[in-house]
């Protein structure tokens, strides 16, 4: 067995490389915002929901308190990329409810275009998770009212398709 005599770098090459790959995601999203998605291209984007700056509806935050994967394919709107505060915003429907999501670039954990089998994985930068607000108390229904059925968001979990990390 040989020892690795490579000195430890005093320059953050790994961080620079990851930042450059995150810029690839912004380029792809800018193209989709400007031109739409060509052919069969579509994006799976995973991100930390507890990362500072992430804005998603409360019902999604409750169901996915740490991470979610969204799909940009046929039905999305208002896709905007922000390079000044790197990230993006997009409109999507969850269980028929239109929702606006805001995602800082640092919150990304994965980007995948399955049409061409292109994918990137990211380690979120160190952060303090956003504390969850205390749930607001819901008023009791009046005796003559029946409680409204809870709507369930229909978000596909892609956990079964993810590769397990060693």
What are the extents of the domains in the chain?
A: 15-127
pLDDT at 158: 47
pTM (2 d.p.): 0.70
The token pair at 107 is 């919150």
Give the per-residue pLDDT at 8: 86
Q: Which residue from 4, 31, 22 is spatially nearest to 124, judged by alpha carbons? A: 22
Rounded average pLDDT over 27-35: 94
Q: For 15-127, CATH number?
A: 2.30.30.220
Q: Give the span between the Cα atoms of 85 and 106, in whole angstroms.
A: 10
The helix/strand/coil state of 79 is strand
DSSP per position, 83-144: TTTTEEEEEEEETTEEEEEEEEGGGEEEEEETTTTEEEE-PPPP-PPPPPPPPPPPPPPPTT
User: Residues 48-97: pLDDT tens digits?
Assistant: 999 999 999 999 999 999 999 999 998 899 999 999 889 999 999 988 88
């Amino acid at each position: 067995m040989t020892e690795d005599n490579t000195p430890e770098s005093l320059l953050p090459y790994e961080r620079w490389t990851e930042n450059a790959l995150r810029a690839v995601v912004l380029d792809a999203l800018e193209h989709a915002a400007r031109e739409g998605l060509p052919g069969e291209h579509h994006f799976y984007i995973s991100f930390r929901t507890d990362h500072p700056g992430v804005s998603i509806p409360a019902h999604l935050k409750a169901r996915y308190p740490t991470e979610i994967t969204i799909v940009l394919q046929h039905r999305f709107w208002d896709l905007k990329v922000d390079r000044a505060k790197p990230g993006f915003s997009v409109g999507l429907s969850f269980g028929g409810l239109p929702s606006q999501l805001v995602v800082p670039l640092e919150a990304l954990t994965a980007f995948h275009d399955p049409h061409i089998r292109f994918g990137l994985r990211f380690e979120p930068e160190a952060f303090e998770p956003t504390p969850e607000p205390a749930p607001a108390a819901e008023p009791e229904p009046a005796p003559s009212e029946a409680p409204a059925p809870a709507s369930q968001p229909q978000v596909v979990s892609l956990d079964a398709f993810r590769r397990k990390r060693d």
